[in-house]
Amino acid sequence: MELKRRFKYYYLKLTRIKGEPHELALGMACGIFAGLLPVIPFHTALALVLALLLKCSKITAVIGVWVSNPLTWYLFYFANYKLGIWLLRVSEEHRPVAAVMAAIQNQEPGKVIMEKLMNAGGIMAAAFMLGGILMAVAGAVPSYYFFLRFFKRIKIWRAKRKEQRFLSKENVFK
C-alpha cells in the first residue's frame, strides 16, 4: 500500500508543475537524455546545463534524470557497453571486459588484472559513450513526445477544472 500511495503522491506533484507543455516535456527529455549517459556523478548537472541551453524546465529535467537510479544503473551501463562494442565492431578476443574476466578466472596476479583494465580504458570508454549517446537519444526523443502529450492533457484538465469552478461560483451568486 505504501508504494501505491507514494506513486500517487509523486504523480500529483508532477501534475502540479507549472509551465508550458513544450517546456516541461523538453525538460523531461533533457533529464532522460542525461540520465541514460554513462556519466554517473554528473547526470543532474548535465541535465541542468541542457535545460539552461534549451530554455526549458529545470525541475522536470532534474526529475527526468531519475530514469537512471541504483536499480537501473547496471542494466543501462551493460546495455551501453554492449551496444558500443557492437557499433565499434570490436572482435570477441579484443573485448576488454572479456580479457579482464579471463584474467580473473585464470587467477592471474592483481598486477596483470590491473594492467588489462588500464589497457582496456580507451575502448571501454568509447564503447560506453557511443552506446550511451545512442541510448540517450533513443530514450529522450520518444519521451519528449510522450510527456508533451501528458502535459498537454494536464493543461486541458486544469482549464476544464478552472471553468467548472468559475461556473459553480457563478451559480452561487444567482
What pLDDT does 62 receive?
Answer: 93
The reported pLDDT for the residue numbered 78 is 82
Residue ranges in the chain assigned as alpha helix (H)? 2-15, 21-36, 43-54, 58-65, 73-88, 96-105, 110-172
Identify the pLDDT of residue 126: 82
Contact between 87 and 130 (Cβ < 8 Å): yes
CB 20 within 8 A of CB 130: no
Please check whether residue 67 is in contact with residue 31, taking contact to mean a CB–CB distance below 8 angstroms: yes
Supply the pLDDT for residue 37.
Answer: 92
134 close to 86: Cβ distance less than 8 angstroms: no
Provide the grid cell at 11: 504523480
Q: How far apart are CA 95 and CA 74, in angstroms?
A: 19
Residue that the C-alpha cell 500500500 belongs to: 1
Q: Where are the domains of the chain?
A: 2-172
- Dihedral, CA atoms, 119, 121, 126, 132, nearest 10 degrees? 140
Find the angle CA(53)-CA(55)-CA(24) to the nearest 5 degrees: 125
DSSP state of 68: S
Q: How far apart are CA 136 and CA 128, in angstroms?
A: 12
Residuewise pLDDT in 10s, the chain (174 residues): 688 888 888 777 777 788 899 999 999 999 999 999 988 889 999 999 999 999 999 999 999 999 988 888 888 888 888 898 889 887 766 666 667 667 767 877 767 766 766 677 677 778 888 999 999 999 999 999 999 999 999 989 888 888 887 777 666 555
Position 142: which residue type?
A: P
